[in-house]
Amino acid sequence: MNKIYKPNRTDWNEILKRPTQTIDAIEDIVNDIFKEVKKDGDAILRKYTQQFDGVSLDDLLVSALEVEEARTLVSDNLKTAIRLAKSNIETFHKAQITDRVEIETTSGVLCWQEKRPIQKVGLYIPGGTAPLFSTILMLAIPANIAGCKEIVLCSPPDKEGKLNPAILYTAQLCGVSQIFKVGGIQAIAGMTFGTESIPQVYKIFGPGNQFVTVAKQIATKYGVAIDMPAGPSELLVVADDTADAAFVASDLLSQAEHGTDSQVILVSTSEKMIDAVELEVEKQIKDLPRKKIARKAIENSKLIYVEDDGTAIDLINVYGPEHYIICSKNEDFYIDNTFNAGSVFIGNYTPESAGDYASGTNHTLPTNGYAKQYSGVNLDSFMKSMTFQKITEKGIEKIGNAIEVMAEAEGLQAHKNAITLRLNSLK
Q: Which fold has domain 23-108+117-230?
A: Rossmann fold (3.40.50)
Catalytic, out of 323, 352, 393, 404: 323
Contact 205, 364 (CB under 8 A): yes
Q: Is 271 annotated as a binding residue?
A: no
Domain with CATH 3.40.50.1980 in the chain: 2-19+232-360, 23-108+117-230
Q: Is 209 annotated as a binding residue?
A: yes
> Radius of gyration of the chain from Cα atoms?
25
Q: Is 186 annotated as a binding residue?
A: yes
Catalytic, out of 322, 352, 363, 408: 322
Contact 132, 183 (CB under 8 A): no
Supply the pLDDT for residue 209: 82
pTM: 0.93
Contact 110, 389 (CB under 8 A): yes
Q: Is 410 annotated as a binding residue?
A: yes
pLDDT tens digits, residue range 2-16?
A: 999 999 999 999 999
Supply the pLDDT for residue 388: 98
Q: Identify the DSSP state of 377.
A: P
Alpha carbon separation from 75 to 71, 103, 130, 258, 311 (Å, rounded): 9, 52, 18, 23, 48
Contact 197, 48 (CB under 8 A): no
Phi then psi for 144, rounded to 5 degrees?
-70, -40
Contact 139, 155 (CB under 8 A): no
Q: Is 356 annotated as a binding residue?
A: yes
Q: In the chain, what percentage of residues exceed pLDDT 70? A: 99
Domain covering 392-425 in this structure, CATH number = 1.20.5.1300
Report the alpha-carbon distance of residue 141 to residue 133 in Å, rounded.
12
Contact 173, 82 (CB under 8 A): yes
Q: Is 258 annotated as a binding residue?
A: yes
Q: Is 348 annotated as a binding residue?
A: no
Supply the pLDDT for residue 129: 67
**Nearby residues of 405 by Cβ (< 8 Å), 6 or more positions away:** none
Position 25 pLDDT exceeds 90: no
Report the alpha-carbon distance of residue 396 to residue 227 in Å, rounded.
39
Tell me what the mean pLDDT of segment 58-87 comes to.
97
Report the alpha-carbon distance of residue 197 to residue 158 in Å, rounded.
19
Collapsing DSSP states into helix, strand and coil, what is residue 337? helix
**Nearby residues of 222 by Cβ (< 8 Å), 6 or more positions away:** 34, 192, 193
Q: Is 363 annotated as a binding residue?
A: no
Residue 322 annotated to the active site: yes
Helical axes 184-193 vs 210-219, angle rounded to 10°: 20
Q: In the chain, what percentage of residues exceed pLDDT 90? A: 91
Domain with CATH 1.20.5.1300 in the chain: 392-425
**Nearby residues of 264 by Cβ (< 8 Å), 6 or more positions away:** 234, 235, 236, 237, 252, 253, 255, 256, 297, 298, 300, 301
Collapsing DSSP states into helix, strand and coil, what is residue 61? strand
The CATH architecture annotation of domain 2-19+232-360 reads: 3-Layer(aba) Sandwich (3.40)
Residue 93 annotated to the active site: no
pLDDT tens digits, residue range 311-342?
A: 999 999 999 999 999 999 999 999 999 999 99
Tell me what the mean pLDDT of segment 143-169 comes to.
97
Average pLDDT of the residues of the chain: 96
Supply the pLDDT for residue 1: 81
Supply the pLDDT for residue 184: 96
